[in-house]
Amino acid sequence: MAISPNAGKQAQQSDLINVAKLISDYYSLTPDVNEPSQAVSFGTSGHRGSSINVSFNDVHIAAISQALAEYRIKNDVTGPMFIGKDTHALSEPALVTAIEVLVANDVDVVVEKDNGYTPTPVISQKIVSYNNGRSDGFADGVVITPSHNPPSDGGFKYNQTHGGPAEGSVTSTIQDRANNIIKNKETIKRISIKAALASSKVTEIDFATDYINQLDQVIDMQAIASANLSLGTDPLGGSGIHYWDQIADKYNLNISLVNNQIDQRFAFMPCDHDGKIRMDCSSAYAMSGLISLKSEFDLAFGNDPDFDRHGIVCKSSGLMNPNHYLAVSINYLSQHRPHWGKDLGIGKTLVSSSMIDRVVKKLDRNLLEMPVGFKWFVDGLSNKSIAFAGEESAGGIFLKRDASTWATDKDGFILCLLAAEMLAVTGKDPGEHYQDLTQKFGTPSYKRIDVAASLEQKTKLSSLKISDISANSMAGEAITNVQTHAPGNNAAIGGVKVSTENGWFAARPSGTENVYKIYAESFENETHLQNIIKEAEDLVDEVLRKS
């Protein structure tokens, strides 16, 4: 897709959502689940959509909440449900709907005090710490967020008792039950929000303090403080916006919040590559404001609205490619966590950079390549067989310094703080560390693009077989491998990955937009990368045109 002339520029009035209409549509529009685009659909990170498109409405969330309450009963989940929301406009009404239904179904609900915001990693860490050592009465959780998606979107994600995103069989059960409830117009148990909040079933707590007090168990906060680094952060108007000052106060850090605005329209945002407002902390366009300030800090970083992603801005090199930072983080942690045994593996998504493969091989650790979606790493993080897990879209998590489990979902806070620890301990920022890696392993060129696709084409792409790829060469090199399943667990990747000696591409449908994504990398040069992308588009297009 072409880069919009508005990319990186301040959003204009015409780009902003009408919050009042968005909320009105949430309550007034009724979905037809026989229309696929209006049905409940759990992708890699929960159900997402927009009330405007009748894909994220009160009916959806009420049905999902009812299905979730029934799932808990069938699976004997009797502990509290921790619920967090981000700063998207639809997160507020969705939280109200969820509370009304869950409380009516006798679920004990725990939310942030004073109707505050709660980041995804905080919910995950809370579930893990609450359930640690228990034999019954386990807690689970919900995070109401569409992540970095545009302001008009909403999202609803279920985290199981292990603290991480629910596995596919669980979300399929909840999804199917919710759609049946809507289709058959079944009665949903529900009470008013006033009655729910007045009941003993809703508890308000301070999630932030407990989470912040434990950060030194996973990050060397003393090293950062001793180095007296000047740190800048842009929360992009997200749910962790009030955490950074508390972190700075607790650990005596010098952190400057360059943007303290919360605005459900996200009017302060520069537009993303396509001219849309999108709070993607891995995008140089969305992060252009913080990037322009890089010389003012030793290191700067940003996060998306639910704080499960990170964007690292180095004085030496600007905004880091997420793949580059993952490779650097793995290399650093493996050498600065003495309690991490050599038997601990490293997890990455199949579409992450092969630089990670080379680093992990040099470290003599086991590499586990998984399909896209953080749910695939949960078991390894829970049983402490995976030390670090990362995905190409700027998400990562790792074990505590003593090799015990911290959380089982992506954590943007600790990935940002790790960059500061790295600079404090080594005197080099992550960008400089990446240059060291390229001296050892070469300099890859990596890119991810979106290609317009119909629902039918997306469905076809997600069910490709190896035999559907008839080409035997790509960008002048023989094709050495075609994959439709991830080697780390043999699970379907929902698309295809094609590799040669010096490059690869992967194509898979988006779970939230009418596009498919192409990921490509070359260890030769930029021209080789562009050739791979061009041939990847042609190859996929040819496959999709076949009857």
* 90-109 CB burial, b ≥16 within 10 A, e <16: bbbbbbbbbbbbbbbbebbb
Query: Are 48 and 511 in contact, with CB atoms under 8 Å apart?
Result: yes
- Active-site residue, selected from the candidate residues 65, 147, 152, 499: 147
* Strand-pair category, 46-50 with 42-43: antiparallel
Reference 381, options 124, 122, 95; nearest CA is 124
* Bridge partners, residue 49, by sequence: 154
Helix%, strand%, coil% for the chain, nearest 5: 40, 20, 40
User: Across the chain, which distance is largest between two alpha carbons, in Å?
Assistant: 68
CB 495 within 8 A of CB 508: yes
Amino acid at the residue 470: S
State the alpha helices, DSSP H only, in 228-377.
Answer: 243-251, 288-291, 322-336, 354-363
Q: Which residue has the tokens 């001219």?
A: 275
58-74 and 168-183 are packed helices; what angle lies between their axes, rounded to 10 degrees? Answer: 120
- What are the beta bridge partners of residue 202? 109
31-34-46-169 Cα dihedral, nearest 10 degrees: 150
CA 423 – CA 185 distance, rounded (Å): 57
Q: How many CB atoms lie within 10 A of CB 500?
A: 21
Is residue 454 annotated as part of the catalytic site, yes or no?
no
- Cα–Cα separations (whole angstroms), residue 333 to 50, 138, 222, 356: 39, 31, 16, 13
Is 409:121 a contact under the CB 8 Å cutoff?
A: yes
Nearest-angstrom CA–CA distance, 23 and 88: 11
Q: Which residues are catalytic?
A: 147
